[in-house]
Every structure is written in structure tokens, then in C-alpha cells.
Chain A
Amino acid sequence: MPALAISPTNFVLLASVLFAIGLFGALTRKNAIAVLMCIELMLNAVNINLIAFSRFVTPQLFTGQIFAIFVITVAAAEVGVGLAIIINIYRHRLSVNLDDFDWLKW
């Protein structure tokens, strides 16, 4: 282990800050693309946690890393679908404002 040891706490702190920023953005931003980006932030916060705990708890296994790769893959697919939906909505409505996207209610 290097001299300048980074403790697990640092990782958890970084991840929670990242998650909080992402959550705040996802709940408050009106721009749908910004919301998607915020969701990516939240997912990456989780990834950091996964890798950090894998590194400290079971260094000989790669479970967390593999999990993180899965999360990235799924996130990429999800963003692809989400962007496609948003682009389609934009073509019909000329808007990416989430407040305009309320026609799925009764």
C-alpha cells in the first residue's frame, strides 16, 4: 500500500457528494438532457463505491469491477434509449422541458 494512504472514507465521501449532486440535478433541472446527465452522475457515484469496496474488502476478487462494467454498459444502453425518446419528443413538441412532458397522466 502506498505511503499516502487513501482511506475508504474518502471514497465514500466522494461518491455521496457525487450522488447528491446528481440527485439534486435530476430532481430540479427542467432540461431533460441535463436530467439524463445527472442520472449518469448518480450511476458513476455507485460505480465508485463498488470499485472502492471491492478494492478494500476483497482485493483478490474483481467482483466490484465487473459489476461496475455492467453498470456502465447498462447506463450506456439506457442513455441511448432515453436520448432517442427525447429527440423524438423534441421533433414533435419542439421542447425538451420536462414540465411539458406531462401528457402520460390520465
Chain B
Amino acid sequence: MYHAWLVPLLPALSFAVISLLTKQWKWLSATISIGAMVSGFIIAAFIAVGVLQHPGLINHPLVYSLRWLSMPGFKVDAGILLDPLSAMMLFMVTLVASLIQIYSLGYMRGEKGFSVFFAYMSLFGASMLLLVAASNLLELFVAWEGVGVCSYMLIGFYNHKISAREAAKKAFVTTRIGDTGLLLGLLSLQLIFGTLNIADLAQKIPQFQNIPLLITVAVLFFLGPVGKSGQFPLHVWLPDAMEGPTPVSALIHAATMVVAGVYLVGRMLFMFASVPPVMELVAWVGGFTAIFAASIAITQREIKRILAYSTISQIGYMMLGLGVGSLSAGFFHLWTHAFFKALMFLGAGSVLIGLHHKADVWEMGGLIKKMPITAVTFVVGGLAISGIPPFAGFWSKGDILDATLASGHTVLFVIGSFTAFLTAFYIWRMIFLCFFGKENPENHPQESPLVMTIPLMILALFSTVAGLIGTPWWDVWGRYIHFGTYVPPVANWPLMIGDTLLGALGIYAAYLFYCKDREKTKALAARQWFGGRLYDVLYHKYYLDELYMWFNHSMVDGVARLMYLFDIYVVDGIVNGVGAFTVAAGEGLRVFQTGRLQNYALVFFLGVLAVGVLLAFTGPHATLFLGGVR
């Protein structure tokens, strides 16, 4: 367990080695990158076993650190904090990242910048692992920004495409809005408590009495996760992040980046739990985001976009779980979601490769015959996210809904349940359109190579069984990862049956609309019946992008124009004025430079004479005028 620092270090080293030394040798670079991540996974697996053997870590995390900065009144220790939460994240991130990198061998074959891609992936993984293992919030913030930078580079990986560049910028700027809040929150914590060590803060914050101040800090703090985890209203960057290569999308959506926000909220839950109004805010933002994104996902046509909105929605679930106070449920969903979402993204990537990057689900169909492995694993992912037992999503989503109901948030419970129905519907709409039904004669798909399908199969396995460690009857998960005192779960039969029925109903509705009905006439009719308007609103994502663009054009550009005028007339005026003054002074003074040697000599002599006279007549005071020492 004392070797946890190796886990973030190995991928970071791999980044350095690839970018400095082995860039030219593609396969060597890929091997180094994958090797580092897999070694990290092995270490993380041992760490996980170690943590399971030491239940004492639940309440007293293992912290070891080095002095990073030391100034009077400001000390920062950077190090590693190990408890079941971080051990679980290390395990999950290294596992998913390893599989995604192996998959990338196939997906990125023959792409330009193959080595660079693996270098970035390594750095991305390293940042996320450091973020997860950080014992200090400043250290965490550094890793947080590292994740942001890597996502920027990877989303804009196809930088010859304008849309990719725009998407990268959008992701960076949007998350930055949230990061500003997070940074302010960090500064306030340092000012108030004089430390940023998570373990120390966990001691001090619950005793802090000034609740309004703490509320402000917590809300500022929450802005960071809202941006990073794509919660409403800062979710707009996430669907556009699909411009990156598909493995990147999978990594961003499953293991790194978006779950960073959830992890931060979970890590700082002791702070949020001290201020109930902020907890309400977290829960409502999560719940609203969940249903909001799910409703958009119903109408989208691009396969990766549907998955992107699905991610936003599922992250909303996690926030909801944390917001109602259940660390266990929120993180259980994070854990299971990582597997089935990575699975579905990689499956989508496999489909895109098979169809030569044709992304519209309406133009697919019948792929199950040509791409059986992809289709079957995708269906497993679909069952998992829809909450069909015994697949992983059923247990985690059930936990969240259970916790929501138990904490008395009935409205949020209804929202969550309805979202579960929507989730099943939109995911299966996509599955039916993609893999079943009529084949599109224009497509000539073929199954992807083994290097891509094996990760799919492993992820499918995890999507099936990952939830079994947190069932009401065998709750290893909750015993290790919980907040406050541990309450053994009770099987809530009506809820479990209800969840299953809702999921099944969603799947059946999707089946009716998109599979049974070969010509999709019902789907089109329903679209009409819903009113073209509602459909349009959903299809255009509630026009939020347009709203932001309008805001950008009117407000931001307006302010910028004012600033521009200020710059031209005031700032430039001052600068030009200084210049003009110098020129004028030179014009005036140059008449004294006659170029005649004897004029100068005369002036010298008169000057010396003046000094002499002054000395003679004013005595010792003369030194005052002459600048001498008294």
C-alpha cells in the first residue's frame, strides 16, 4: 500500500519518455504507455486488496506526504491519501484506462500522431490518478487542471478539423468557469482554516460554526464539479467533446474528467454535509441534470451524442446520490457507470470504425449480423444502464433511488424514477436502430479486430458483475465506502421490482417504436403527436447553445467592444502621449546641440565657475545643492 505513489507516477513517466524519446517508434510508444498503465493497474489491485484487509482505513485514511511548499504561514504537503474511496478509484481508473489504451491500438491504427495520442492518454491517466490519490486540495487542484489540459489536447486531437478545435476550446473555457469557483473556494478554505490537507479539513470543518460563510465556500467549491462533471448549466461542452477520437470520449466519460467532479464532491462530502442547503443544491442540480439530459438524449441522432447526454444524465444521478447524503450510493453508481459507459463508448467506436465514421443511428440497422461481438457487448451495456437485474446498473441506480426516497426527497425520487424510464428508452432506441431491424444496403460493416473486441468483452463482464459487490445481501461496497455510520442495507422489494419494471417498460416502448415497427412510422407519428415544437426544442438541446452564443455575442462582445474603445482611446492615448511628449522635448532641446566644440567647452567652464561661486558664497550648505554628502 505504500507504493501507491507509483500509480500516478508510472503513466507520467511514460508521457515523458514517449514525448521526449520514443516518438518515432509507434509501437514502442504504445507499448510503454500500455505497460505503464497496466503496471499501475496491478499495483492498484494490490492496494485494493490491502485496503480490504484493513477496515481501519475507512475512518482513518493512510496519509503520507512530503513538504511541497513552505512559507511563513503557508505550508503545503503533497502526498498520497489512501482510503477505500481512493483505492476503489485507483483500481477503476487504471483498469478502464488500460482497456481503453489497448482498444486504441486497434482504433487509432494508421492515424497520424499515434505516439502523441498515447503520450496524451498517459498524461491524462496520470493526472486523474494523482487527483484521486491527492492528500492535499492544492495538489488535487494541480491534477484537476492537468486533467483539463489533457482533455483540451485530446478533444482537439484532430486539430485539422475546425469543429474539433472549437470543441476543445469550448471544453476548456466552460470548465474554466467552474474552476474559477473551485479556486476561490480553495483560497477561502486556506484563509479560514489555514490548511488544505484533506485529513485536517475533515477534522476542522464539521466543528466550524460560521454556517453562512461555509455555505458560500461550499457553493463556490461546487462550481468546479458542475463545470468538470458537466452538470447543468455548464454541461454544454460535454456533447461537443465527441469531436475527439472515440477512445478519448470513453476515457473522458467513464474513468477520468467527468467523474473528477463527483469524486471531489464525495471527497469533500464532510464539508457539504455540514451545510444542508448546499446538499439540497447538489441533489437538485443532479436530479435536474439527470432528467434534463435524458430528455435531450431521446431526440439525438448521432450515436456518440446520445451517449454523451446519457453520461450527463448518469453523472446527474451520482450528484443526486451524493446530494441526498449517500456517499455509498453515489460512488457505487460511479463505479458501475465507468464500466458500462466505457463499454458503450468503445462499442460505438467499433461501430464507427465498421461504418467508416457514419454516426447517424437512423442510417444504421441490422449490424448484429455483421458485428456480433460489438452488438452483444453493447446490449449488455444497454441492459446495465437500463437497470435490469442482475446487471451492474440495477444495483447502483436502485441504491440512489432508495437513498433519495429514504432521505424524504419524494419529488427527486419521482424525477429519478422517470429518468430511469427515459434512460432505458433512449439507450434501447439507439440499440434497436443500430443493431436490429433492416440492414442499410449502403453499409458494408465488418467486425473489429480482436484487440478492440477483447476490451469490450472484459468490460461487458464487469458491467455484468460489478454490481454484485453491493447487493443488499452481500454489501461489501457499503461497508467500506460510506459516510458517517454504516447502516446495513435492507432489501426494498417494491422499489427493486418497480425499478426493473420501469427499465423493462422503457425497453419495451423502444422496441415498439423502433424495432417491431419496421418502417418506424409510429416513431415518426409520435414525433408529430408530441408536437413538432417540443421535438425541436429537445432536438436543439433546449436551445442552450444558442442562448449561450447569444449571450456571448451580445454581452461578452459588447463589453469587449467597450474595452476595445477604452484601450484605443485611453490606454493607447497615454502611451502615445508619452511618446509625443518625448519627441517634443527632443525637438525643443536639440537647438542646444550645436556641434561646435568650443560652445560646449564654454558651457563646461561656466558650469564649473557656477559651482565654484556657489561653494565660495554659500559655504558648507552648497553641498546640499550639489548633491554631496553632508
A contact set with B: CB distance below 8 Å? 23, 26-28, 35, 98-99, 101-106
Sort A-B residue pairs by CB-CB distance and give the 3 closest, nearest first.
A105-B595, A102-B595, A105-B593
Q: Which residues of A contact B601 (CB under 8 A)?
A: 26-27
> What is the 8 Å Cβ interface bit string for chain B, positions 98-135, against chain A (1 contact, 0 not)?
00000000000000000000000000000000000000
Inter-chain CA distance A106–B587, complex, in Å, is 11
Give bound CA distance, A88 to B602, whole Å.
25
Of B593, B595, B598, the contact of A26 (CB 8 Å cutoff): B598
Q: With CB as the reference atom, state the residue of chain A lying closest to B592.
A: A105
Which residue of chain A lies nearest to B605 when distances are taken between CB atoms in the complex? Answer: A23
Contact A105 B594 (CB under 8 A): yes
Would A98 and B594 count as touching, CB distance under 8 A? no
Q: Write 10 A-B pairs (CB below 8 A) sorted by A numbering.
A: A23-B605, A26-B601, A27-B605, A35-B597, A35-B598, A99-B596, A101-B595, A105-B593, A105-B595, A106-B593
Q: Is the CB of B596 within 8 A of A27?
A: no
Q: B626 CB to closest chain A CB, in angstroms?
A: 20
Q: Is the CB of B605 within 8 A of A98?
A: no
Nearest A residue to B597, CB-CB: A98
Q: A27-B602, A27-B605 are in contact. Are A101 and B590 (CB under 8 A)?
A: no
Contacts of B596 in A (CB 8 A): 98-99, 102
Q: Which residues of A contact B594 (CB under 8 A)?
A: 102, 105
Distance to closest chain B CB from A82 (angstroms) = 11
A104 touches B605 (CB 8 A): no
Q: Which of B593, B597, B602, B605 contacts A101 (CB 8 A)?
A: B597
Binding site for A on B (CB under 8 A): 590, 593-598, 601-602, 605
B-side contacts of A104, CB under 8 Å: 595
Closest to B586 in A: A106
List the B side residues contacting A98 at CB < 8 Å. Answer: 596-598
Chain B residues whose CB sits within 8 angstroms of the CB of A106 once the complex forms:
590, 593
Chain B residues with CB below 8 A from A28, complex form: 598
Tell me, in angstroms, the Cα distance from A106 to B594 when the chains sit together: 8
A106 — nearest CB in chain B belongs to which residue? B590
Give A98's nearest chain B residue, CB to CB.
B597
Closest residue of chain B to A38, judged by CB?
B601
- Tell me which residues across on chain B come within 8 A of A105, comparing CB atoms: 593-595
Which of chain A's residues have a CB closer than 8 A to the CB of B602?
27
Cα–Cα, bound, A102→B393 (Å)? 94
Q: Who on chain B is nearest to A23 by CB?
A: B605
CB distance from B585 to the nearest CB of A (A): 14
Verify B595–A27 contact, CB threshold 8 A.
no
A35 to B595, CA, bound (A): 16
Contact A27 B593 (CB under 8 A): no
Is A27 a contact partner of B590 (Cβ separation < 8 A)?
Answer: no
* C-alpha spacing A26/B602, complex, angstroms: 9
CA distance A99 to B596 in the complex (A): 7
* B residues near A27, Cβ cutoff 8 Å: 598, 601-602, 605
Set of chain A residues within 8 Å of B597, measured between Cβ atoms = 35, 98, 101
- Cα of A103 to Cα of B596 in the assembled complex, Å: 9
**Min CB gap A10→B, angstroms:** 21
Query: Given A98-B596, A102-B594, list of 6 further CB < 8 A pairs?
Result: A35-B597, A35-B598, A98-B597, A101-B595, A102-B595, A105-B593
Q: How far is the CB of A24 from chain B (nearest CB, A)?
A: 11
Q: Give chain A nearest CB distance to B606 CB in angstroms.
A: 11
B461 CB, nearest partner CB in chain A, Å: 87
**Complex CA distance for A105 and B594, rounded to whole angstroms:** 6
Closest to A105 in B: B595
Shortest CB–CB separation between residue B592 and chain A, in angstroms? Answer: 10
Tell me the complex Cα distance, A28–B605, Å.
Answer: 13
A32 to chain B, nearest CB (A): 8
Distance of A26 Cα from B601 Cα, bound (Å):
8
| B594 nearest CB neighbor, chain A only | A105
In the complex, what distance in Å separates the CA atom of A96 from the CA atom of B205? 89
Closest to B596 in A: A102
- Smallest distance from the beta carbon of B600 to chain A beta carbons, Å? 10
The complex places the Cα of A23 from the Cα of B605 at a distance, in Å, of 9
Report B-chain residues with C-beta under 8 Å of the C-beta of A101: 595, 597
A35 to B598, CA, bound (A): 9
Could you say which residues of chain B place their CB within 8 Å of the CB of A35?
597-598
Measured in the bound complex, the distance between the Cα atoms of B590 and A106 in whole Å is: 7
Contacting residues, chain B, for A26 (C-beta < 8 A): 598, 601
A58 to B387, CA, bound (A): 111
Which interface residue of B590, B593, B597 has the most chain A CB atoms within 10 A?
B597
Complex Cα–Cα for A27 and B601 (A): 7
Minimum distance in angstroms from B605 CB to a CB of chain A:
6
Residues of A within 8 A of B598 (CB): 26-28, 35, 98
A98 to B596, CA, bound (A): 8
Q: Which residues of chain A have C-beta atoms less than 8 A from B590's C-beta?
A: 106
Complex: A3 Cα to B354 Cα, angstroms: 126
- A103 to B597 alpha-carbon distance, docked (Å): 11
A27, B376: Cα distance in complex, Å: 107
Nearest neighbor of B598 in chain A, beta-carbon distance: A27
Bound-state CA distance A99–B594 (Å) is 11
A102, closest chain B residue (CB): B595
Q: How far, in whole Å, are A24 and B598 apart by their CA atoms in the complex? A: 11
Closest to B593 in A: A105
Query: A103, B605: Cβ atoms under 8 Å?
Result: no
Q: In whole angstroms, how far apart are the Cα atoms of A98 and B595 in the complex? A: 10
- CA A105 to CA B592, docked complex, whole Å: 10
| A90 to B: closest C-beta gap in Å | 15
Q: A106–B591 Cα gap in the complex (Å)?
A: 9
Instruction: Report the minimal beta-carbon distance from B629 to chain A, rounded to whole angstroms.
Output: 22
A26 to chain B, nearest CB (A): 6
Residues of chain A within 8 A of B593, CB atoms compared = 105-106
Instruction: Give A99 to B597 CA distance when docked, in angstroms.
Output: 8
Measured CB to CB, the closest approach of chain B to A49, in angstroms, equals 14
Complex CA–CA separation, A70 to B125 (angstroms):
75
Closest to A103 in B: B595
A-side contacts of B595, CB under 8 Å: 101-105
Closest beta carbon of chain A to B286's beta carbon, Å? 75
Instruction: Identify the closest chain B residue to A99 (Cβ).
Output: B596
Taking the nearest CB of chain A, how far is it from the CB of B616, in angstroms?
15
- On chain B, the residues within 8 Å of A99 by CB distance are 596
Question: Complex formed: what's the CA distance from A98 to B602 in Å?
Answer: 14
Bound CA span A101–B596, Å? 7
Q: In the complex, which residue of chain B has the Cβ closest to the Cβ of A32?
A: B597
* Shortest distance between the CB of A99 and any CB in chain B (Å): 7
CB of A79, distance to nearest CB on chain B (Å): 16
Among residues of B, the one whose C-beta sits closest to the C-beta of A26 is: B601
Q: Considering the chains assembled together, what is the distance between the CA atoms of A10 and B266 in angstroms?
A: 100
